[in-house]
Structure 1
């Protein structure tokens, strides 16, 4: 959910023990490596001083224009501000797999971009009797792990940390205009070539698209995360891009506008990357920021990846 983008408006009765065993086996198959290209990067330096969760949160918020946001989803989802941090994990979603890897790495602070408990506000009253929720919450409490959602703040950061991370990873940072969110390619590329670069640089197995794969494109409107409501359509009306490169959509909004635009004779195309993978570079951006500010801290970025499979 990316309501701080310029375009956004904000199974079976398995027993608890059996559930624990099933999850543990799945998680146990995931090994945490200190340095894995394109997936997990851990940085550790000689310790210089101790930091609490609250101090690190405040440090980032202080650099965001306007400072503290009164109404925000960027709150602690577990743990407390007073926890002394032993290591930091950045990720899109604080999944059970990510939490288990944090435990293995002896990291007790997870900075996630999206919700931890399956709804935008991370409300948990409705989940109180659910075994999936209680398993996750109990695991966090047992290991005294703090989770801070950094969504509104990293999008309000100047430049937007998520879009900057995506443009950098795509290798188009010099062609990216932070005000318009337009990437102006130095030379036209076919839609097929753009899709290939996006898949390669962002490590995406498949995308969905609308458009002529052979058509040359030069102007890309970048909108990772959720692309919903009138905002993205108004942005396309204003910027006249060749391609909208986005995370996820309401299919009955943006896709239909693009389809009609093409039927009318326009050259507008659409690439849908998927929500999680489209914003993962924002969590890598956050990890890079932390490494500059906390040179004595072990900081690891762990991609939460797309939970969906394709046939």
Structure 2
């Protein structure tokens, strides 16, 4: 204690001095107790609260009506539902790079939107004796990494978590209505619309069909890989100026748009890429989930576009 503490007590009377010394000893004992490794404050005890993978899954599904579904691809792909979670990473694909980065950041739970083992149901025997699958399994095991796919449920959230994350990143929330793929934007050219998407979503390259000078107001937005039937049905129903999608079967959606234009319909197509089109939705998942789990570090690691361009 400071010298002034003991100096001050010398000027007290005998009874006051005794009382003063007793108080000082109590304070010293309390300070010693608090400094011991086994002692923690209420706040520290709260911050040490632990969660299992299943606890977090249950917390998320509680926000989505009608869950869990009797049949869904949203299952644990690696690790155990009962393991304690040290940190969470959200991403589109649990790539080798994402797994390594998660491990470096002391996270052991990856929430991925898409498959980990290259097919819709994550069937590891989809191709027998797959060496890439085996090495990925070994990497996950090495880091005790749990992976849970969060696809069907996130699309069932209200609003659709992927759609909301996209329009939020694109600064289109004022034009967005939950449950609708159609947005009415301020008038812009197709070229300006493409530039806006590249900038706001950090996309290096994208593909399009159409006239760069075309005036665009009404858009239909379908991130991910909904398929040609969904794309074409929405285009026929909504008659948009431009259809913005993540991924296409080139012989379906792209050929429909080409023929529509050749027949005189002023409709354009923007193909963003599957991963980059849904990544903003998984970024928003991290933002949405963090306040619900303040004890855990939750971060988004983008899996990125797998393609290079020449």
Same fold (TM > 0.5): yes
**Which structure dedicates a bigger proportion of its chain to helix?**
2
1:116 is aligned to: 116
**Which structure dedicates a bigger proportion of its chain to strand?**
1
Deviations 1:64-112 (A, max 9, x none): 1211111111000001111111000000000000100111111000000
User: Distance in 2 between the 1:181 and 1:301 partners?
Assistant: 25
Question: Is the 8 Å Cα contact of residues 247 and 272 (structure 1) preserved in structure 2?
Answer: yes
Deviations 1:109-151 (A, max 9, x none): 0000000011110001245633321111012112211000000
1:285 is aligned to: 284
Deviations 1:237-274 (A, max 9, x none): 11111111100101111111111211221111000000
Question: Is the 8 Å Cα contact of residues 160 and 179 (structure 2) preserved in structure 1?
Answer: no
Q: Note the aligned Cα RMSD (angstroms).
A: 1.3
Q: Which has the higher contact order (CA 8 A, sep 6+)?
A: 1
Paired residues for 1:1-311 under 5 Å: 47=47, 49-126=49-126, 129-185=129-185, 187-311=186-310
Structure whose alpha-carbon radius of gyration is higher: 2
Aligned residues: 265
User: Distance in 1 between the 2:85 and 2:122 partners?
Assistant: 23
Question: Is the 8 Å Cα contact of residues 155 and 161 (structure 2) preserved in structure 1?
Answer: yes
2:224 match: secondary structure: strand
1:51, CA displacement in angstroms?
0.9
1:208, CA displacement in angstroms?
0.5
Higher alpha-carbon deviation: 272-281 or 232-241:
232-241
Deviations 1:177-231 (A, max 9, x none): 223211211x200000000000001110111001110011001111000031322
User: Distance in 1 between the 2:287 and 2:128 partners?
Assistant: 36
Question: Can you give the 5+ residue segments of structure 2 that lack an aligned partner in the other structure?
Answer: 1-45
- TM-score normalised per structure 1: 0.83
User: Distance in 2 between the 1:305 and 1:197 partners?
Assistant: 19
Question: Can you give the 5+ residue segments of structure 1 that lack an aligned partner in the other structure?
Answer: 1-45
- TM-score normalised per structure 2: 0.83
2:299 match: secondary structure: strand
Question: Is the 8 Å Cα contact of residues 113 and 283 (structure 1) preserved in structure 2?
Answer: yes
1:111 match: secondary structure: strand
2:32 is aligned to: none
